[in-house]
Amino acid sequence: MAIHVVPSDAFPSIQDAVDFASNGDSIQVLAGTFDGFNVPFAKTNLKIFGCGIGKTIIAGLPGMGSTGILIDGNGTILQGFTVQGFSDGINLSSNNSITKQIEVILNRTCGILVGADNNALIEISAIFNEVGFDINSSDNLILRCKAEQNLTEGFCLAGRENCILDNSSKENGGDGFLIDNDEMKVFNNKSIKNNANGINIDLDQNFLITNLICDNSENGIFIQTGAEQNVLDSNIVRNNGNDDTTAGIFVENGATENVIHFNKAKNNIIVDINAQGGIGTNIYDGNKCENSSPPNLCT
């Protein structure tokens, strides 16, 4: 397996090195500013390393509508870059790839767009994009990432069965986490000071466990009409809401068979838990809170 260095006489651009590389080769990109590049489907198991965030920069112009880094080759490892000034910062369309220690900033649409399965996104920062993370595929791991000050959602989760672990979503213009598919595992995340809901659940059989949801403008956790069999367990939900249409945990009328238990909710506006339309087929058990609608949902 060869190692190719960019820039060099042989490879003035990253694309030159990618085009020359054989499957399984490594590409080391030195500090500097570079154009975007594509990893085509035919190139598998490439390892592409920059010198770190703020040192190796992939730069573009948002008005050009281009993608900074497009990864179609399965098994790609991408690490140590800042990607800025594109339409989409990174478009990950390959399976079984690892994207690690990346900053995606000031991209016009998505910081990172994921359209394939079984990938790992680790320690990625998405800042000042329209959407921080747009995950449209299944069985991905999103670990220790952060989304801050994006125009709409921090994390838009439209694929099934993704694992969302130890991430932070803060001061985004929309929801901190929008869960728009089934069977997500959302564990130990932070959703703070977002301009809509901390976590918005639209579909079924999702697990939200030990998350910290504070100071969001709308609901801390919002379970929409038609969402079924979701589990909210041991979350801390504080200081969310803005008026009598919001709550710490808001379960909309028509959401059924959800389990809300052992959560700690406090100082939310106007109630900590709102079971709109009554308890129905949902289960409320062991929640430590100060007030609820209807009454007696707090222990």
Which residue, among 209, 251, 244, 210, has the nearest Cα to 228 in the 3D structure? 251
pLDDT-derived band at 211, boundaries 50, 70, 90:
very high
Taking 90 as the threshold, does the pLDDT of residue 23 lie above it?
Answer: yes
3-state SS string over 186-215? Answer: EECCEEECCCCCCEEECCCCCEEECCEEEC
Cα(10)–Cα(69) distance, integer angstroms: 21
Q: Tell me whether residue 53 is in a domain.
A: yes
- 198 against 280, higher pLDDT: 198
Range of the domain at 111: 3-222
Residue (of 183, 189, 197) closest to 169 by Cα position: 189
**Secondary structure element (H or E) that encloses residue 281, with its range:** none
| CATH number of the domain to which 109 belongs | 2.160.20.10
Domain count, the chain: 1
List, for residues 100-110, the tens digit of each pLDDT value. 999 999 999 99
Query: Is 241 within the bounds of a domain?
Result: no
Whole-structure pTM value: 0.96
Contact 154, 134 (CB under 8 A): no
Asked whether residue 109 is assigned to any structural domain, the reply reads: yes
User: Does pLDDT of 65 surpass 70?
Assistant: no
